[in-house]
Structure 1
Amino acid sequence: MKSKFIPINSELQLAAEAVLSKGESLSQFIEASLRQAIAHRQQQREFLAYGIASRDEAQRTGKYFDTHEVLARLDGILRTKQSDRQSD
């Protein structure tokens, strides 16, 4: 794939250059940032697709989950992950 020049306003370029890691080029920073943004948007789309599919399944089956039960379960998962990290 052929690279193309993307114009960046000078203020943004200066801000980006100010946060570069040692030995990192602006091109490397931009590529890494772009990869992260793409991955984030893909995760957002997957999350939304999962939520829509869950909603549709709940409507189809009539089976819904209590908010308090779901939040309690998520809190339990979070506490487990946090304690696992502290053990490492």
Structure 2
Amino acid sequence: MKSSTIPSLRVTPEFRRDAESVLREGESLSAFVEESLRQHIERRRTQQEFITRGLAAREVAKSSGQYASKAEVMSSLRSILDEQRSKG
């Protein structure tokens, strides 16, 4: 597949210096920008999936009339967090 380019980005000299100041040894600014873009794309996808699941859950709750209380939700989240902490 033929590759394409991302539009160039105009930034202030200070912003470019800030970006260059966090580069790892041997890392190019282009590689940093590409990785940043990949991570942001993944974060946006994850956020959208989260919202989609939440909206679907809302519709299920509306149609069934069954809702979880705040206490039930918090207890479940605490259990998940405790389980993850014990693994680490």
What is the TM-score of this pair, normalised by structure 1?
0.90
SS in 2 for 1:21: coil
Deviations 1:1-23 (A, max 9, x none): 32144123122111000000000
Counterpart of 2:26, as a letter, is G
- Aligned residue pairs total 85
Flag structure 1 segments of 5+ consecutive residues without an equivalent: none
Flag structure 2 segments of 5+ consecutive residues without an equivalent: none
Between the aligned residues of both structures, percent identity stands at 39
List structure 1 runs of 4+ shifted beyond 2 angstroms: none
Counterpart of 2:56, as a letter, is A
Q: How does 1:11-30 map to 2 (within 5 A)?
A: 11-30=14-33
What is the TM-score of this pair, normalised by structure 2?
0.90
Q: Which residue of 2 aligns with 1:54?
A: 57
The match for 1:6 among 5, 8, 27 is: 8
Deviations 1:26-63 (A, max 9, x none): 00000000000000000000000000000011001111
